[in-house]
Structure 1
Amino acid sequence: MINKTKLALGIAATLTIAGALVSPQAMAISKADRVAEAANNKVDALEAQMQAMQAELSRLRAETSRPRSSADAGKVQELDQWMNSVKSAPKESKKSQENLIFFRGGFARNDAKRNDLLTGNQFAGNVLGGDRTNKDGWYIGAGFDFGLTDNVWGLMDNTDVMAELMFDYRNFGAKDFKGAAPGAAAGTVGANPACTLINLAAADTVAAGQAGTLNCKGVTVSQLTLAASPKIKFMKGSAFRPWIIPFGLTINVISPPSNGVTVLNPGMQFGTGAEYAIWKAIKVGADVRYNLTGRSVDGVNTDGMTAGGYLGIGF
């Protein structure tokens, strides 16, 4: 019995000593495992937080770039389409403006011939006959068109309204007064009954007391017309462009003056024509215009028409 008790005590002592030897190592291993596990848990937590932050950042970016409404989306799409069309459109060369300076000339005709004192036809009882001046003549002139609108202020597309300022000089020929009436004495009024009063009153180299018949060489019948008119040009963008002048204001200056020594007569003009661009800004055209005054200037009628061509340069 005693031996068994001793044996049991010995075994217990042995186990106690072995446990005392093993316990520090086991405790050390267990603590290290816990530290490692805690570190791993912290890493996992940090990684989870980083992933959450990245997800939130991505969501914010997408929210910022996304249009707030369908209307905004439509505007963005329309803007993109416009930008693409502008980029893809070919670049146009600089176009000349529709303003035009032109030089014109051609045929002129008055409705009536001159028949007044200063053209000789009413002097000395029309001994050489009346209506001796010409109706037909020629003209030269110039002017320019200045663009006001290219769509008649929104009423008609591809149609320009221009402001035209123009002048022309019309020549109806010179009347010669060198002939003498049969049987008239030299140096007298009868020697040249068609000579104008101004020429007869002039002095020359003939004997004293005689009329100045040597100055009776002739008189040129002419007219200067200044005009301001609206001009409507059709077919904008085309090389061929017809146009009309519905009305315009004219100031007519006659030479020689009328019987009342009047030289000015206002009136209106109407016209139509067309032009063609032959090369870049160089254009040629033709027109017909009629000048209507409605009254004579102390017996001188300034109504008449012109027909001719012109050469223009756009600017």
Structure 2
Amino acid sequence: MKNTRNKVHSVLQILVVFFGAIVFAISSQVFAQDAAALRIKQLEEHLQSMQTGMQAMQSELEKLKSQSTQVTQKIERIEHKESSVETNQEGSKRNMVFFRGGFAHSSQHRNGLVFQSDVVPAGVQDQPDKNAWYFGAGFDWNLTRNAWGLAPKTSVLAELMIEYKEFSSHVKGNALANMPTQLVGGAQNPHSVTVSQLSIYAAPKIKFMEGSRLRPWIIPAGFGMHIISPPGESASFFIPGVVFGGGLEYRVWKDFYAGIDARYHITGGKKDGIDVDGVTAGGYLGIGF
């Protein structure tokens, strides 16, 4: 009887252990499932939070993009307004047409075919005065407003100009300007000869103080071609040379200017006995365009 009781007790212990193991296994599995579910839930919440953050970032990026577009449009409008203001602003025109006039002086007396002739030294042999009056016109074409980035507020322009000088219109000529010519025994009856000179210039012009009403300028060196009348004794009409100059210009009203200038013309000596070196000094009126 005792043995039977012990066996029953042993069987009960085994069953208790077995059922305990089963309960522990089930509990562990349930706990594991709960932990996994909690982890999954946390991951879902984290992903949801990331998605919300990305949506917020995308919204901010859209706002920034919109703001950037608005800023760009504002800048373009401002630049357009500035361009319109600069276009309409008084004195904003870059180019100019001008008209000059004044006094000219030659370094030597003129010598030519019909007066003061070395080939035909007969007749009155008169000479014109060294002084003359001149008038001319030209235009400045603006190349840059800051000397290609080398000097701020310094404009470089290309000047093209034509100029007429008249030394005298009553110079008495020699035998070749006599009617009839004294070479065939005619009486002394000399014609009056007009002594004049036409000059064409092409030169760089540098203007300082861009934006100011008063602007000084210089011509460091330019090319000049002088056409003389009467011609030289060997029928020479054209004399090339170099011109240097400087002046001061003032914007009077809108795009209308007034200025003074002085220029020195040099040709490197006489050509067929004629020397046209000299200076001019006077004023000019300009219109911007």
**TM-score, normalization by structure 2:** 0.70
Distance 1:210 1:126, change over 3 A: closer
Counterparts of 2:144 and 2:78, CA distance in 1: 30
Q: Which residue of the other structure, out of 106, 109, 125, is the alignment partner of 1:110?
A: 106
Q: Does the alignment pair 1:313 with 2:287?
A: yes
Counterparts of 2:158 and 2:56, CA distance in 1: 59
Q: Does the alignment pair 1:265 with 2:239?
A: yes
Partner of residue 211, structure 1: 186
Distance 1:210 1:299, change over 3 A: closer
Partner of residue 295, structure 1: 269
Give the secondary-structure state (helix, strand or coil) at the position aligned to 2:147. coil
Distance 1:252 1:93, change over 3 A: closer
Query: Cα offset for 1:287?
Result: 0.2
Counterparts in 2 of 1:119-268, with a 5 A limit? Answer: 119-120=115-116, 122=118, 125=121, 132-177=127-172, 195-200=174-179, 211=186, 216-268=190-242
Partner of residue 191, structure 1: none
Higher alpha-carbon deviation: 58-67 or 84-93? 84-93
- When the two structures are aligned, how many residues end up with a matched partner? 237
Counterparts of 1:297 and 1:124, CA distance in 2: 18
Query: Cα offset for 1:174?
Result: 2.2
Counterparts of 1:153 and 1:106, CA distance in 2: 34
**TM-score, normalization by structure 1:** 0.65
Distance 1:76 1:288, change over 3 A: farther
Counterparts of 2:175 and 2:260, CA distance in 1: 38
Give the secondary-structure state (helix, strand or coil) at the position aligned to 1:132. coil
Q: Does the alignment pair 1:98 with 2:73?
A: no
CA displacement 1:266-293 (0-9 Å, x = unmatched):
0000000010000010000000001100
Partner of residue 55, structure 2: 61
Counterpart of 2:137, as a letter, is: A
- Which structure's residues are more often strand, by fraction? 2
Distance 1:81 1:240, change over 3 A: same
Counterpart of 2:252, as a letter, is: I
Counterparts of 1:116 and 1:93, CA distance in 2: 53
Counterpart of 1:313, as a letter, is: I
Q: Report percent identity of matched pairs.
A: 41
Counterparts of 2:113 and 2:242, CA distance in 1: 27
Give the secondary-structure state (helix, strand or coil) at the position aligned to 1:62. helix
CA displacement 1:175-211 (0-9 Å, x = unmatched):
343xxxxxxxxxxxxxxxx534044457xxxxxx863
Counterparts of 2:69 and 2:185, CA distance in 1: 94
Query: Cα offset for 1:93?
Result: 5.3
Preserved contact between residue 171 and residue 223 of structure 1 (Cα < 8 Å):
yes
CA displacement 1:92-118 (0-9 Å, x = unmatched):
352332100000000011100123441
Preserved contact between residue 161 and residue 230 of structure 1 (Cα < 8 Å):
yes
RMSD over aligned CA atoms reads 3.6
Q: Which residue of the other structure, out of 264, 275, 281, is the alignment partner of 2:255?
A: 281
- Higher gyration radius (CA): 1
Preserved contact between residue 147 and residue 160 of structure 1 (Cα < 8 Å):
yes
Counterparts of 1:77 and 1:123, CA distance in 2: 87
CA displacement 1:117-140 (0-9 Å, x = unmatched):
412465875775x77321001000
Preserved contact between residue 120 and residue 196 of structure 1 (Cα < 8 Å):
no
Query: Cα offset for 1:153?
Result: 1.1
Give the secondary-structure state (helix, strand or coil) at the position aligned to 1:306. strand
Q: Which runs of 5+ in 1 are unaligned?
A: 1-51, 178-193, 203-208
Counterparts of 1:196 and 1:82, CA distance in 2: 82
Preserved contact between residue 120 and residue 175 of structure 2 (Cα < 8 Å):
no
